[in-house]
Amino acid sequence: MNKQTGIKDKFDTTSLKKLFARYGLVFIVAIIIIIMCFAVEAFRQPTNLLNICKQISINGIIALGMCFVIMTGGIDLSVGSTVALSTVVAGSVICMAPDNNLFILYAALAAVAVCAVVGILNGVLISYLKLPPFIATLGMMEATRGIAYIYCNGQPYILNSANYKLIGQGYVGVIPVPAIILVVFILIFAFVLNRTKFGRHMLATGGNEKAAMTSGVNTKKIKMIVYTRCGVMAGVAGFILSSRVNSGNPSLAEGYELDAIAAVVIGGVSMDGGVGSIFGTVLGILTLGLIQNSLNMLGVSSYLKMVFQGLIILVAVFMDLQTRKLEASSK
């Protein structure tokens, strides 16, 4: 009886350690946020909470695409530049006919299509030319940013379309339109990951690519799809961003790739691939958004925010490594 109790206690302790290692940062931040709610009255106001929803929407959309990439054991450093390219492509189309609602649809299609091409190129470089994801997407990050500058000759597009502004600045009732778009994509990505064969094959590819190939999984196709999808999500985010800031600017979205990676890693997606969930990624998106909002409320400088974000990524990766060690020791 004592032996069984000891085994059960050891199992419970190990499970708790794994849970904390995977989501410990989220728990810690949750405590900080509770303190902020009592310490700063403006933080808990409904208007601020709605503002947070709007703020996290663009990064959240990018992070969903990044989530699938990291689940396969890859990374995409080009998403920030891809978002910038999307803004100038969308801006150029809108400027052709600012008052024509049909051109808003054309702008969306053009922006997403161009960014899908960037994703396809990443997929080819990584899946077929066997370049390491870090190197391939680092090169595409520079190239895509350069293309964005060339496309608009270094001059931003100033947008004055009232209807176009509604996409990034509008509300349905009291809910920001970008937040609604994010929720729709969360539901789609959760369904794909949890309810489709593609989701299972994607996690298998990230967990052990050779074993997945032996089992008949077309890992090249899986990687092509996830990188293309990541490009598409960056295109959608850029379209919304240009509407939000009334501009198509090649200098926009610098550092957005780090925000997306941070959100995904905070949410418990393993950098080694094969482990993660959309629920965790959503927690990561919310956590990062709440941290940034809290720092704004406290008047922390933007430079110090960068330090905080870097430390958060390091802690999240460290916790991921601890989780891996615990899983290995329990086998």
CA-derived radius of gyration, the chain? 21
C-alpha closest to that of 231 among 9, 83, 99: 83
Q: Which two tokens stand for residue 221?
A: 């196709």
Which of the residue ranges 26-30, 55-59, 161-165, 252-256 would you say has the lowest mean pLDDT? Answer: 26-30
Average pLDDT over residues 55-77: 96
- Report the C-alpha gap between 136 and 310 in whole angstroms: 23
- Report the C-alpha gap between 269 and 88 in whole angstroms: 32
Could you give the number of structural domains in the chain?
A: 1
pTM summary value: 0.90
Judge whether 294 lies within some domain. Answer: yes
Q: How much is the pLDDT for 44?
A: 77
User: Distance of alpha carbon 200 from its chain centroid, rounded?
Assistant: 20
Which of the residue ranges 14-28, 72-86, 275-289 would you say has the lowest mean pLDDT? Answer: 14-28
Q: Contact 268/23 with Cβ under 8 angstroms?
A: yes
Q: What are phi and psi of 316, to 5 degrees?
A: -65, -45
Tell whether the model's pLDDT for residue 19 goes beyond 70: no
Tell whether the model's pLDDT for residue 327 goes beyond 50: yes
List of residues 6+ apart from 131 with CB closer than 8 A: 125
- E strands, the chain, where? 157-158, 171-172, 175-176, 247-248
Q: Where do we find the tokens 């649809």?
A: 105
| Backbone CA torsion sign across 318, 321, 325, 326 | positive
Q: How much is the pLDDT for 11?
A: 45
Judge whether 128 lies within some domain. Answer: yes
> Domain limits at 162?
58-318
What distances in angstroms separate CA 174 from CA 21, 55, 239, 315, one per listed residue?
A: 37, 15, 22, 36
Judge whether 47 lies within some domain. Answer: no
If you average pLDDT over every residue of the chain, what do you get? 88
Judge whether 15 lies within some domain. Answer: no
What distances in angstroms separate CA 118 from CA 88, 106, 137, 145, 205, one per listed residue?
A: 15, 19, 10, 11, 22
Average pLDDT over residues 131-145: 97
Judge whether 5 lies within some domain. Answer: no
Tell whether the model's pLDDT for residue 50 goes beyond 70: yes
| Higher-scoring residue by pLDDT: 45, 324 | 45
C-alpha closest to that of 82 among 143, 135, 132, 164: 143
Q: What is the DSSP string of 199-211?
A: HHHHHHHHH-HHH
Judge whether 169 lies within some domain. Answer: yes
Q: How much is the pLDDT for 216?
A: 94
Judge whether 153 lies within some domain. Answer: yes
Judge whether 253 lies within some domain. Answer: yes
Tell whether the model's pLDDT for residue 1 goes beyond 70: no
Q: Is residue 239 very low, low, confident or very high in pLDDT (cuts 50, 70, 90)?
A: very high
First to last CA, the chain: 23
Q: Where do we find the tokens 């990291």?
A: 70
* Cβ atoms within 10 Å, residue 106: 15
C-alpha closest to that of 161 among 101, 99, 104: 99
Which of the residue ranges 24-28, 139-143, 201-205, 224-228 would you say has the lowest mean pLDDT? Answer: 24-28
